[in-house]
A and B are shown apart, each in its own frame.
Chain A
């Protein structure tokens, strides 16, 4: 079992819809979780991080964390074609390495 698991996709949504990206993790010691966006041929860029159970909103993005279920998600409202990318979920224990999932490819069609 991988420490961080994501569905590889692609997840296809029409423009303006809500995209829901999901991630599960196996290490209960993980304390913080990060969502990175990676365009093809580019390096990952941070979208959001979350530490506490519940929701955290930033513009069109909402991260959700459920530690009991070991589940992290990212919602993208009003999806745009420019949101088409691979979304990487990562967990971390304190000041240690990020453990990444393999990413979910999102396609937003005009």
Chain B
């Protein structure tokens, strides 16, 4: 079946512009995560959705960052007034959660990422 998809794959923008990054999770996966990976760095958690609600937004770096999820499926991460330090690969992951006892249900599967470059 189809994996997690993200668009655009690459985005170059000018400082101060707004950008929207899209994630389409694996069908049926209720949980969706956004991470950021800067050059040579590990993955940094941004936000977690369970269905359409976001129980954990603790990783969003500033109020310029926001995300939403509609219909329990597609999610959009929006960065307003982009800064050069926002340049990174933005990765989305989804997992099948809910219920108990099935080992590995919470395994997160990653999309290909969006490479954002802010000039």
Contacts and interface: CB of A to CB of B under 8 A. Distances in A.
Looking at chain B, what size class is its interface with the partner chain?
Answer: 20 to 34
Looking at chain A, what size class is its interface with the partner chain?
Answer: 20 to 34
A32 B112 CA distance: 24
Interface stretch (B14-22, B61-69, B101-109): B101-109
Interface of B: 31, 33, 35, 41-45, 48, 50, 56, 59, 89, 91, 93, 97, 103-104, 106-113
Nearest to B42: A102
A25 interface: no
Contacts of B110: 36, 43-45
Nearest to B4: A43
B118 to A, nearest CB: 19
Given A96-B48, A97-B59, A98-B108, A103 B103 contact: no
Contacts, number: 53
B42 A97 contact: no
A43 B111 contact: yes
A98 B45 contact: yes
B43 A100 contact: yes
Given A43-B111, A44-B43, A46-B109, A98 B33 contact: yes
Contacts of A94: 106
A34 B108 CA distance: 9
